[in-house]
Amino acid sequence: MSELAWWQRGVIYQIYPRSFQDSNGDGIGDLPGISARLEYLAALGVDAVWISPIYPSPMADFGYDVADYCNIDPIFGTLDGFKQLMGHAHRLGLKVLLDFVPNHSSDRHPWFEESRSSRDNPKRDWYLWRDPAPDGGPPNNWLSRMGGSAWKWDEVTGQYYFHAFLPEQPDLNWRNPQVRGAMDEVLRFWLDCGVDGFRVDVLWLLIKDAQFRDNPPNPGYRPGEPDHHRLLQSYTEDQPEVHDIVRSMRATLDEYGERVLIGEIYLSVPQLVKYYGVNGDGAHMPFNFQLLNARWKADEIAGMIRDYDIALPEYAWPNWVLGNHDNPRVASRVGTAQARVAAVLLLTLRGTPTLYYGDEIGMTDGEIPPDRIHDPAELRQPGICQGRDPERTPMQWDGSLPNAGFTDGRPWLPIATTTSVREQDGDRSSMLSLYRHLLSLRRSNAALVQGAIDNVEAYGDVLTYERRYGNQCLFIALNMGVEDATVQSRSGVVLLSTVSARIGENFVQGANSLAASEAVVVAV
């Protein structure tokens, strides 16, 4: 597997740092906490950790409002502490990816403070300032993804500024070469520190229409959906000029050898694949989020796998994401039994998998009492926006301790359920054991890492496909239904099953049984 890059062979694990491990009793996870859990991650069998933002921030959007791009927030630790964490990770063979948030800064970033100080400040044009419309209202109809107008009136200078998210997150002006230069320095700062790559926040939103044209109404909008769905995002997302920016970020990373550029992009597959660039000079991996909203039906997933594989240019490396900090957890989306099937799917598909912390123990969405809601998106759009706190609850390390071994203090969000790493550790039938088995199987079978994916089919509730490399062929069958099923196969040996007692059994040529919610990997 040596001709592949590490990020093609490897598996990425996302850490939401506020919720992974607290080391100082303030109820918020931190870098020493992450460091203390790196051995766990190495033993789990992942290859890289992506840490959501840890930069100094007023935390209006929990770190996605950056006040200093080249430092660490004291809540999480120090820059030296981060370098130690990275050294520790590297000694264990783990890569470290940071979250790069270039679309917007915090309104407390010195750049914005300068920009808003006067109309003729040299940094005025670093952000998107516009005069009011003739009636004194916002310059156009653009809407914030956190609800309401995306324009905030500034009394001092008598103009509006644009914020795609919170008013505390003003959008930078990526048409300004100085902004590009400053952000390039940020990338270089962290690359010089030794980070192995970046997940780039809202990469598809960086450039807005130069003429600030109104977005057209969305004919598909239904009342109750988030506010910004009322409009098509024709002039606020996926603008053609964005690809030039992606290309220049990639060129910077390429100067540093084998580093990885991953883009957060919520677009249809045909639009998404353009972010690979021309002949692969764009992002290494535009995140493929299709599984996050997929209807959990064998034929739909089969179609999605086939269509994605066909849409990828030949230089593009695929990837799959099953969960993240912005979407309900997989175990809550599909149920605990099917979450095991989903684990087999994620780790046997072609392409780099990204796991979300806690999914390896089947964590479900937490229940958040109204007085403990933190997510600004939910607080600004109560009843409309599905809050993101439920999928951000603390990692459950030890069920027998108060607060699940996450903190000695009061956790910033409540603990979701009672299961824990400790409880599942020695249990061969646990979700954790299933993930460990899958990750080690992936590591030791070239077909799973670099094999083609063929014969993707759905028969009723059963999804099947093959992964082939050289003369190795693995047959994967997933029963996505609640009834027992049969599946046609060649003869072979069961290497892995979500029903663990079955491992080592023979599959016969012809019909083989699958239990409800059983997934198998068979060497045929």
As annotated, the active-site residues are 201, 255
Measured in degrees and rounded to the nearest 5, phi and psi for residue 93 equal 85, 15
Alpha carbon distance 199, 352 (integer Å): 14
Q: Which residue is nearest to ligand NOJ (CB)?
A: 64
Which lies closer to ligand NOJ via its Cβ, residue 75 or residue 480? 75
Residue 61 burial (CB count, 10 A): 21
Which lies closer to ligand NOJ via its Cβ, residue 325 or residue 350? 325
Buried-exposed string 93-108: b where 16+ CB fall within 10 A, e elsewhere: ebbbbbbbbbbbbbbb
CB of residue 377 vs ligand NOJ: minimum separation in angstroms?
A: 7
How many CA atoms, within 13 angstroms, populate the side-chain half-sphere of residue 405?
14
CB of residue 14 vs ligand NOJ: minimum separation in angstroms?
A: 10
CB of residue 474 vs ligand NOJ: minimum separation in angstroms?
A: 33
Which lies closer to ligand NOJ via its Cβ, residue 285 or residue 438? 285
Residues 105, 108, 112: CA angle, nearest 5 degrees? 65
Contacts of 523 by beta carbon, 8 Å cutoff, 6+ apart = 472, 473, 474, 475, 492, 493, 495
CB of residue 238 vs ligand NOJ: minimum separation in angstroms?
A: 15
CB of residue 141 vs ligand NOJ: minimum separation in angstroms?
A: 21
Contacting residues toward ligand NOJ, per CB under 6 A? 61, 64, 101, 165, 201-202, 264, 325-326
Q: What is the largest CA-CA distance in the chain?
A: 77
Contacts of 257 by beta carbon, 8 Å cutoff, 6+ apart = none
User: Which residues lie across from 248 on neighbouring strands?
Assistant: none
Which lies closer to ligand NOJ via its Cβ, residue 59 or residue 187? 59
Alpha carbon distance 444, 297 (integer Å): 29
CB of residue 388 vs ligand NOJ: minimum separation in angstroms?
A: 7
Which lies closer to ligand NOJ via its Cβ, residue 100 or residue 397? 100
Which lies closer to ligand NOJ via its Cβ, residue 350 or residue 392? 392
How many CA atoms, within 13 angstroms, populate the side-chain half-sphere of residue 464?
18
